[in-house]
Amino acid sequence: MRTLKGKRGKDTVLPIEAELAPRGRGVARLHRRPVWRAAGILADLPVWAGTAGALTFLGATIAYGIALGGYGTMVSESLTAAAGFRVEAVKLSGQRETTEFQILEALEIQSDSSLVLFDAQAAQKRLSDISWVEKASVQKLYPGTLQVKIKEREPFALWQRGDVISIISKDGRVITDDVDGRYANLLLVIGHGAQHRVGNILHELKVVPELRSRVRAARLISDRRWNLVLENGITIRLPETGVEKALLDIARMDADSGLLSRDIVAVDMRLDDRVIVKLSDGAAERRKGVVSQRRGGANGAET
C-alpha cells in the first residue's frame, strides 16, 4: 500500500484506495438507510403499509373462518339489519282463503331478517306452492317493508272419488280437501276423470237454468256420458250425444206435467224415440194395486 507522510505524522489514504474502502464505516447506525428500502418497489411503499397489510391479513382470516363455519349469511344479516334494513312490516293483499300464518310461514322471515339479503324470488316460489295461491308477487320496499300480493284460485266445482271430496279449479286441479258448507252450491262431479270434464256438463246445463238449480251432482259413467242427480234424489240418465236436446226435452216435460216432482226414481233419456220413467218402490206398489183393481172391476163387469 502506498502512503504519504502527512504533516502530523499520520498515514494518508491515497484516492485510489479510498474508492475501495467499505462504505458506511464510521456512520452512526441510527442514521444509516435501511437496505430493504432501497430494494425494488418496496422503496416506494409508505411507512404505514406494514400495519395496513397486517390488518388486511387479519380481516381476511376472520372472513375465511366465518365462511368456512357457515356463518357468512348470519353475520351479513345481522350487519345489514343493524344498519336499518331489518324487515319491520309485511303488507298483504288479495288473500281470502289463504291464512296469514300460511303466508308468513312461506316467507320464512326471522326476527333479524335483512331486507337487503331477503330472496324475494325464492319466497314467491314458496308462496306459489300453497294450494289456494295461483300467483304471488313479493316486492321489497326499503328500508324495511315487504309487499305481498296474492291471486287465489277460484273454486269451480266439487269432485268426489271414493270417500274423498275436494274443491277443484276450472282446470280440474285439486285446491283443497277441506270442504265446508260455504261450497254447498257448487256442482258435485263424481268419478275419475270427471274433474277434467266438469266444464262440459256445466256448459250444457246453461241451456236449462231452471233445471240447473235443481241438479246436485253429476256422475260420469264409463268416461262417456253423465247421470244427473237432482236434489230430491231423482236420477236423469243423459245420452252420450245430443245432451242439449235431452235436457230441453225433460225441462219441457217437467214444465208441462211436473214430471220431476213425482214419486219416481229415474228418467232415462238415452233412447231417441222414447222416455223411460222408473217409479219408486212405493209408487210401483200403488200402481200395481190400481191396475189390479181395474182388472178386477173389468172382470166383474164382464160376468
Question: Is the CATH code 3.40.50.2300 the one for domain 157-286?
Answer: no
Give the residue, 13 or 93, on which the prediction is more confident. Answer: 93
Residue 1: per-residue pLDDT: 46
| Cis ω for the linkage preceding 155 (within 30 of 0) | no
* Confidence class for position 60, pLDDT limits 50, 70, 90: low
Say yes or no: do domains 75-152 and 157-286 share a fold.
no
- Digit-coded pLDDT (tens) for 159-193: 999 999 999 999 999 999 999 999 999 999 999 99
Q: Which of 198, 201, 115, 109 is nearest to 158 (CA)?
A: 198
pLDDT at 144 > cutoff 70: yes
Determine the pLDDT at residue 32. 57
> Which tens digits make up the pLDDT trace of 195-231?
999 999 999 999 999 999 999 999 999 999 999 999 9
Q: Name the residue with higher pLDDT: 95 or 33.
A: 95
SS3 state of residue 69 = coil
Report the C-alpha gap between 269 and 52 in whole angstroms. Answer: 94
Taking the domains of the chain in order of start, what are their residue ranges?
Answer: 75-152, 157-286
**CA dist 200 → 161, 174, 209, 271 (Å):** 19, 18, 15, 21
Amino acid at 44: D
Distances (CA, A) of 86 to 103, 118, 126, 298: 19, 10, 21, 97
Distance between CA atoms of 159 and 198, rounded to whole angstroms? Answer: 9
**What's the rounded mean pLDDT across residues 139-166?**
94
* β-strands 164-168, 174-176 pairing: antiparallel
What mean pLDDT comes out for the span 30-44?
Answer: 55
CA 263 to chain centre: 50
Q: Is the pLDDT of residue 71 over 50?
A: no
pLDDT mean across residues, the chain: 80
Residue range 96-107, pLDDT digits in tens:
999 999 999 999
Q: Which three cell numbers stand for residue 131?
A: 294450494
Measured distance CA(293)–CA(240) in Å, rounded = 40
Strands ordered across the beta sheet of 145-152: 89-93, 145-152, 133-141
CATH class of 75-152: alpha beta
Question: What are the φ and ψ backbone dihedral angles of 147, each rounded to 5 degrees?
Answer: -110, 120
Mean pLDDT of 266-288: 86
